[in-house]
Amino acid sequence: MTSALQGIRVVDLSRVLAGPWATQLLGDYGADVVKVEQPGSGDETRQWGPPWLGGEAGGESAYFLSTNRNKRSITVDLTKPEGQALVRELVASADVLVENFRVGTMNRFGLSAPSLLAAHPGLIYCSISAYGAGSSRAGEPGYDAMIQASAGLMSITGPPDEEGGGPQKVGVAVADIMTGMYAASAILAALNSRQSNGRGQHIEVPLYDAQVAWLANQNMNYLVGGVTPQRLGTAHPNIVPYQAFATSDGHLMLAVGNDRQFNACVKCIGRGDLGENPRYAENAGRVRHRDDLVAQLQATFAQNTTAYWLEELRAASVPAGPVNDLNDVFTGEYATERNLVRHIEHPHSDSLPSVANPVTFSESEVSYRLAPPLLGQHTSEVLREWLDYEAAEIDRMKSDGVI
């Protein structure tokens, strides 16, 4: 079985998370991804620890390991003209370039999209930035947390203000991750377009724009309803009951998505009377009378354990689940059944754990062939393989600080 992107070459000039997330996906699908890093320091996330692989400060950070599988690392000093020329050589052998420097930086390196596309019309050039290149904020830097705040996500995340809530960010860098997902899908679309017309193109994916785009129903709630969405904790703005409830020994998450499921839910918890109440018969009414209904459901769920209620709800085919921590997730039976953790050989570990890509193809494979690389681990290998460099030339460039 072959990989879907076998034969596709990617020059990865990105770092931190959004760009590396996109290129890790391309690598999982079989692309040959060469990660270009600054000599001596590399991707900032190499220093984002603890924890470290092996438990020692200065080793490979867990953060870096989470987003750089299936890549080879080379070091190139982009501030040196010879380093810039080397990247142009790599691009001549590549299908895709991904970068997430601040807007204007690639121009200063002589690696702008117009210049590289003029030389290589089939290139897919993907730029990830904080804000759009044509905007008044184009030159500003951006990290995930500030984008979560400024692009709306933190305004709808966390408990309501009347319950002592305040703006909260999501527990992982979802603005970065979703931008990476948009970038990866755009690159695949551009590769498909190139199949028919032979032309590459420049793709721009700003973090801010991506964050706004995936607010989905909350965006449309505002645009159609004219009311600014507020924080609701675990509750859903458009569906009731769809939130966490406290039980006698913990919590469960109830996700009732339609009127049939609501009737099944209240019957199985011994509150069939709620299903007969015309105020709650349809979802629109349940949303209008949210507070009254939720209070009655909460009083019922508090009378027994999480395990008891989950068994009852499961038997009635009502969507509900426990509020698991990551220990529960990775030690649970489902993780074993689905092989959610894969192990890869790494220079610092015989069996580095890595979280599985969730995609399964019927005719292609998802690859786990390369552990996240050490800084510059593959410099000589890639220069020989991609550019036919001789050992003496590689040694000279190393001594000159180019690589």
12 is catalytic: no
Closest CA to 179 of 246, 115, 129: 129
Question: Could you tell me the CA-to-CA distances from 331 to 117, 323, 339, 375 in Å, in that order?
Answer: 48, 14, 11, 32
Closest CA to 148 of 128, 178, 169, 130: 169
Given the residues 28, 32, 95, 176, the one annotated as active site:
176
Q: CA 291 to CA 58: how far, in whole Å?
A: 51
A 10 A CB-CB count for 228 gives: 11
Q: 261-273 burial string, b = 16+ CB within 10 Å, else e?
A: bbbbbbbbbebee
How many CA atoms lie less than 13 Å away from 190 in the CB half-sphere?
A: 23
Longest dimension (CA), the chain: 83
Long-range contacts of 217-224 (CB under 8 A, 24+ apart): 218/152, 218/156
Which bin fits 164, alpha (ψ -120 to 50), beta or left (φ > 0)? Answer: left
The burial of 315, by beta-carbon neighbours within 10 Å (0-12 exposed, 13-18 middle, 19 or more buried), is given as exposed
3-state secondary structure of 327: helix
Q: What angle do CA 86, 35, 131 make, to 5 degrees?
A: 95
Which residues does the annotation mark as catalytic?
176
